[in-house]
Amino acid sequence: MSMSAYYQTRAAHHGVVTSDWLAQSQEAATRAVVTGGQEIVDGGKSGRAFSVIDEFNNWRKQPDLAEAVAAIRALAAVIRNSEAKTMMELEIELKKASDSLKSWDTTSISLTAGCDLFMRYVTRTSALEYEDFNSARSRLIERAEKFGEISYKARKIIAMLSQDFIFDGCTILVHGFSRVVMEVLKMAAQNKKLFRVLCTEGRPDRSGLRLANELAKLDVPVKLLIDSAVAYTMDEVDMVFVGADGVVESGGIINMMGTYQIALVAHSMNKPVYVAAESYKFARLYPLDQKDMGPALRPIDFGVPIPSKVEVETSARDYTPPQYLTLLFTDLGVLTPSVVSDELIQLYL
């Protein structure tokens, strides 16, 4: 069965190592060594395109690095290795590399969004002041490397913006392990706010366990729930905090499976749902229902063997429509879901 590479990597970050992931990673490592040698010999276009994907995978494996940053770093490597002498040629090469990256993993939204954002930036920069190709090129490389800092700063800004919304004595429900939400809660704990966190288990990744671990280290009172216990405990919850894999044009979000369910329950009980997402996750997608996105499958281990004629729903993510979200905390500020399409229009049109 096909596995979504994006969710595989996230599972790897969360330390839930499955045996088939190990096998795949070993295979990839041996492949990289082989093609590394080939690249030196060939130096042809196909070798370079392949190395983009490898480069990307190398960056992606670091647990603290965001997907989009890995993508932009990989594209920066393309610029560095390119032999183009004009801006036009460089743009065409970048477009090819970006397309191959996107087609290699169609399920990762922040990868697509990050590539698109960088391509727009390149097209705009080339139209601006620099007449000297080399200075333009070095500037592009420099901005791409700096993007890692931008992404890190983005998380800090988001954490600062959300501080006002966490008051003393509040109970926060968190779903999935988002590094941005982790930053928010960490800063609140450092500011000596008194709050309690309810953490869903997050099957099948069990990312909630990891989050509970991290929060316990910060001395924040944590309570773990199984995913089905969300409605049962929604009464005592003051707000729901989630991250996002991607923010779509309608203002809705695509996030780990279970987010839609939680948002529906919260909405019916009048609890606010807050999303913490960096702005480079805004993507030009408009899903009309749950099946409208490309499938991202992730195998689920039930612990007991399942007969082969029983189907299993293995999708790893769902889409939460904007009417169930209250506010989005991004590095562009606190936004209502309707602002997202405005921002995207300004960038792309």
Partner 1 sequence: MPDTQALVNDFLNKLKKRKIEGSQATARQTAELLRSVISQQRVPYTNQAGALIDAVKAIGEQLIAANPVELAVGNIVRRVLHIIREEDLSLTTAAIGGLNLSAVSDDENDDDRDGDSTLSAAAVAAAARSTLRPPSLQTLLEDTPVSAAVPQTSSSGGDSEGKTADKSSRSRKLKHDVIEAVNELIQDIVTCHEQIAEQAVEHIHQNEVILTLGSSRTVLEFLFAAKEKKRSFRVFVAEGAPRYQGHLLAKELVARGLQTTLITDSAVFAMISRVNMVIVGAHAVMANGGVIAPVGMNLVALAAQKHAVPFVVLAGSHKLCPLYPHNPEVLLNELRSPSELLDFGEFSDCMDFGSGSGSPLLHVVNPAFDYVPPKLVSLFITDAGGHNPSYMYRLIADYYSADDLVVQRRATAGN
Residues at the interface with partner 1 (CB under 8 A): 117-118, 120-121, 124, 128-129, 131, 143, 146-147, 150, 164-165, 167, 279-280, 282, 327, 331-339, 342-344, 346-347
Residue 236 tokens read as 């005592």
Q: How far is the CB of 332 from partner 1 (least distance, A)?
A: 5
Q: How far is the CB of 264 from partner 1 (least distance, A)?
A: 16
Identify whether 337 is preceded by a cis peptide bond (ω within 30 of 0): no
Non-local (6+) Cβ contacts of 259 within 8 A are: 175, 176, 242, 253, 318, 320
Compute CA 219 distance to the chain's CA centroid, rounded to the nearest angstrom. 27
Query: CB-wise, 161 or 212, nearer to partner 1?
Result: 161
Q: How far is the CB of 345 from partner 1 (least distance, A)?
A: 10
With beta carbons less than 8 A apart as the criterion, state whether 151 and 73 touch: no
Query: CB-wise, 71 or 212, nearer to partner 1?
Result: 71
What is the biggest distance separating any 2 CA atoms in the chain, rounded to whole angstroms? Answer: 66
Query: CB-wise, 165 or 319, nearer to partner 1?
Result: 165
Query: CB-wise, 164 or 219, nearer to partner 1?
Result: 164
Q: How far is the CB of 266 from partner 1 (least distance, A)?
A: 14
Q: How far is the CB of 349 from partner 1 (least distance, A)?
A: 11
What element of type H or E holds 318? strand 317-320
DSSP 164: G
* Sheet of 246-247, strands arranged across: 246-247, 253-256, 317-320
CB-based burial, 278-290: b 16+ in 10 Å, e otherwise:
bbbbbbebebeee
Residue 204 tokens read as 């099948």
Query: CB-wise, 165 or 177, nearer to partner 1?
Result: 165
Query: CB-wise, 7 or 165, nearer to partner 1?
Result: 165
Q: How far is the CB of 73 from partner 1 (least distance, A)?
A: 13
